Amino acid sequence: MTMTVYISQDTTAVAVGAERVASAFVQAAQDADSNYTLVRNGSRGAFGLEPLVEIETADRGRVAFGPVSPGDVPSLVKSMADSKFDSHPNYLGPVSDIPWLANQTRITFKRCGEGDPVDLANYRALGGYRGLERAISLTPQAIVDEIKVSGLRGRGGAAFPTGIKWQTVLDTQGEQKYIVCNADEGDSGTFADRLLMEADPYQLIEGMTISGLAVGATKGFIYLRSEYPRAQKMLERAIEVATAEGYLGADLCGSGQRFDLEVRMGAGSYICGEETALLNSLEGKRGVVRAKPPLPAIEGLFGKPTVVNNVLTLASVSSILADGGAEYARHGVDRSKGTMPLQLAGNIKNGGLIEVPFGVSLSQVINEWGAGTRSGRPVRAVQVGGPLGAYLSRDQLDVPLTYEALTELGGMLGHGGIVVFDDSVDMAKQAHFAMDFCAKESCGKCTPCRIGAVRGREVLDRVCDNTASSNDLILLRDLCETMEQASLCAMGGLTPLPVKSAMDNFPEDFGVTDNQYEVAV
Amino acid sequence: MNRRKKTGGGIGVEQELESVKLMKAFVQQTAAKHASTQGGLLPCLHEIQAELGFIPNDCLDSVATAFSLSTAEVHGVVSFYHDFRTSPSAQHCIQICCAEACQASGSRELEVGAADVLGVEFDQKHPTGDYRLERVYCLGNCACGPSIRIDDEVYGRIDLAGLPQLVNEAMQS
């Protein structure tokens, strides 16, 4: 019997050696005269186990080996031939039993890693396009209502209720409307969008198509950052196949309705992840933030009513339509409905993508999934929610991961990025980086961000040189307040969050004694 | 046209004029192609840079004409985005991720030492090798940092000691 072997083509899997493992496998299988089919799948996101090799067996289902190095491959091929998997040192057992994966609740990421990402028949076999088929039979209002019932909120960071956004676009008159997917995942510590686009691109395409039907838009754009060349290739190939098979184009599944989709590449600008800067960039302009109102839902791309949603938000739509909004809303707590794809990153032993219902605690994620730091040193700080999120200290790690709980703690859940630092971190340097990054990436439209970040960096230069006075810290707080209250967008408005949380939670790194610090505050 | 075409020895004045003419024709053609698509300026600039390796300043006016913009507006767009270059550079690019998740796993050391071990400063072309060194802020490989990118490939768990060999191997392949 021919065996099917899966080795991922995901960016991270390849970054840690999946390509070399795949070549070693082809060579070893040829040497052993072994019959197999090699499928390059997407990753399941268990990056501590990559390069992961999976084998489809008749009796045990899919079994896994990991992390596999090219040197492990010949013995792996031999164990395949003898059907003696258990004795192999990298054997992990059936994929479904791997605790790292088994303890998750996968809805959006359920298909990731199952097969060739652009194999449309496989996508359908795994339940894909059920959502679109149902959406075609519904009225636009009924689709929007289903999203409202699900309680879905934008997964890009702002957590705005998706159903309300769509309702606004649906209710706005316009001959042309647009669906724009924000795939400019620039936040350090986040990679869920990338992983999904590389492992299950049709889910995003399906979600965008449903969104088009819901609000009456016939054209969609995926604005993808240029740092993601693999995702670009995957999406372009998938769009080509979906168009050829009638899932995109002038006659969606024979319904007579139209939806066209195009990938547009960014050009290395962080601020273009902000929705109005993104729209300007898509229009071919400088990625400068627009003042709101008008909301993009009313005057968005080329001045037309536009849905702008994150990759994961749009991808979630396909399962919400397939299984119903109420089913999705069964997961999660309070107003944080459904599941949240967390991304465990930084100094962590077993990092990766963890999709769980809202409400799991931060320490549980770091200790149970992550198994602590990669360096083996104690955790000192954790930044949650990307570069604009707060730095939490050790005694704040019991916080449940919901939008509300993080906000109460003075932070934010954002896009679900969790970056772990060990005790070698200098928090004044981290605060300095936050201001420096804002100064580099500010679009320049509003003064608090453009000038404030530069002045903030200057103060923190002095803090890092140990030449700061307590007046400097008063000045820094004042700057933070101005940026928070007067910036046009979240970049200037939230850069103070990592800075202030670093000062509040790690005052000892800012070169002032407690007494001076109290005076400064 | 092919910017990597070997001219053999020094370039004569005539050849240089010819290559400038070809370059201008290519830019004009590319701009005309994208001008009719909605928001076509970024795709147009990407295509010019992919082919020529940079976006020549003296071609901006022909792009502007095609898009019915002023040269200043096109210059504004080119200068806004980090990806776009207006002068020739090395063919290959090495980017070191300097964002938070990589900082947490050791990229600060990599950032400080890279110039030294590779023999090239950030944002400069290597004196002998055909590559330049850049900083980048997130490659989406945050669970397995520190990360670097060489052209379109990302590499994870990189340390300073292994960097020169990795770069050499990539340049040879």
Once rounded to an integer, what is the mean pLDDT over residues A479-498? 97
Same domain, B74 and B105: no
DSSP E strand boundaries for B9-161: 92-97, 131-136, 148-150, 153-155
Count of Cβ atoms closer than 10 Å to residue A164 Cβ: 13
B39 and A47 within 8 Å at the Cβ level: the answer is no
Question: Does residue B167 surpass a pLDDT of 50?
Answer: yes
Q: How confident is the model at residue A85 (pLDDT cuts 50, 70, 90)?
A: confident
Question: Considering chain B, what is the average pLDDT of its residues?
Answer: 92
Pick the CATH number of A120-329 from 3.40.50.2300, 1.10.10.10, 3.30.200.20, 3.40.50.11540: 3.40.50.11540
The answer to whether position B39 is within a domain reads yes
Same domain, B47 and B75: yes
The answer to whether position B163 is within a domain reads yes
Q: Indicate the number of domains in chain B.
A: 2
pLDDT for A517 equals 53
Q: How confident is the model at residue A338 (pLDDT cuts 50, 70, 90)?
A: confident
CATH number assigned to the domain comprising residue B48: 1.10.10
The answer to whether position B109 is within a domain reads yes
B32, B54, B80 — which closes off a domain?
B80
Question: Does residue A518 surpass a pLDDT of 60?
Answer: no
Query: Which tokens is A240 given?
Result: 């080509």
Chain B within 8 Å of A420 (Cβ-Cβ)?
yes
CATH number assigned to the domain comprising residue B168: 3.40.30.10
Chain B closest-CA separation from residue A345 CA (Å): 4
Chain B closest-CA separation from residue A87 CA (Å): 28
B80, B112, B135 — which closes off a domain?
B80
B143 and A348 within 8 Å at the Cβ level: the answer is yes
Question: Does residue B10 surpass a pLDDT of 80?
Answer: no
A417 and B82 within 8 Å at the Cβ level: the answer is no
Class of domain A3-97: alpha beta
For chain A, the structural domain boundaries read 3-97, 120-329, 335-422, 427-520
Q: Which residue has the tokens 């909004």?
A: A325
Same domain, B167 and B109: yes
CATH fold of A427-520, please? de novo design (two linked rop proteins) (1.20.1440)
Residue range(s) defining the domain that contains residue B18 = 13-80
- Looking at per-residue confidence, does B15 or A267 come out higher? A267
B104 and A347 within 8 Å at the Cβ level: the answer is yes
Question: Does residue B85 surpass a pLDDT of 80?
Answer: yes
The answer to whether position B2 is within a domain reads no
Chain B within 8 Å of A194 (Cβ-Cβ)?
yes
Report ipTM for this prediction.
0.95
Same domain, B65 and B126: no
Q: Which of A50, A226, A345 sits opposite B142 (nearest CB)?
A: A345
Note the CATH number of domain A335-422.
Answer: 3.10.20.600
Same domain, B104 and B148: yes
Same domain, B96 and B168: yes
Which one-letter DSSP state was computed for residue A68? -
Same domain, B166 and B98: yes
* Residues of chain A contacting B157 with CB distance shorter than 8 Å: 15-16
Same domain, B167 and B108: yes
Question: Does residue A14 surpass a pLDDT of 80?
Answer: yes
Share of chain B above pLDDT 90, in %: 85
Same domain, B132 and B163: yes
Count of Cβ atoms closer than 10 Å to residue A29 Cβ: 21
Same domain, B126 and B165: yes
* Residues of chain B contacting A228 with CB distance shorter than 8 Å: 140
pLDDT digits (tens, 9 = 90+) for B28-58: 999 999 999 999 999 999 999 999 999 999 9
* Residues of chain A contacting B81 with CB distance shorter than 8 Å: 266-269, 287
pLDDT digits (tens, 9 = 90+) for A123-141: 999 999 999 999 999 999 9
* Structural contact between residues A14 and A52, judged by C-beta atoms closer than 8 angstroms: no
pLDDT for A7 equals 98
Q: Which of A47, A283, A288 sits opposite B143 (nearest CB)?
A: A47
Question: Does residue B8 surpass a pLDDT of 60?
Answer: no
pLDDT digits (tens, 9 = 90+) for A437-471: 999 999 999 999 999 999 999 999 999 999 998 89
Q: How confident is the model at residue B2 (pLDDT cuts 50, 70, 90)?
A: very low
A89-103, A373-387, B2-16: which has the minimum mean pLDDT?
Answer: B2-16
The answer to whether position B5 is within a domain reads no
Q: How confident is the model at residue A34 (pLDDT cuts 50, 70, 90)?
A: confident
Question: Considering chain A, what is the average pLDDT of its residues?
Answer: 95
* Structural contact between residues A210 and A131, judged by C-beta atoms closer than 8 angstroms: yes
* Residues of chain A contacting B82 with CB distance shorter than 8 Å: 267-269
List Cα–Cα distances, B144 to A20, A51, B141, in angstroms.
Answer: 17, 12, 6
Which one-letter DSSP state was computed for residue A86? T
Q: How confident is the model at residue B14 (pLDDT cuts 50, 70, 90)?
A: confident
Same domain, B73 and B96: no
Q: How confident is the model at residue B6 (pLDDT cuts 50, 70, 90)?
A: very low
Q: How confident is the model at residue A519 (pLDDT cuts 50, 70, 90)?
A: low
Cα of first residue to Cα of last residue in chain A, in angstroms, is 72
Same domain, B73 and B99: no
B142 and A189 within 8 Å at the Cβ level: the answer is yes
pLDDT for A333 equals 81
Question: Does residue A516 surpass a pLDDT of 70?
Answer: no
pLDDT digits (tens, 9 = 90+) for A164-190: 999 999 999 999 999 999 999 999 999
Once rounded to an integer, what is the mean pLDDT over residues B118-125? 95
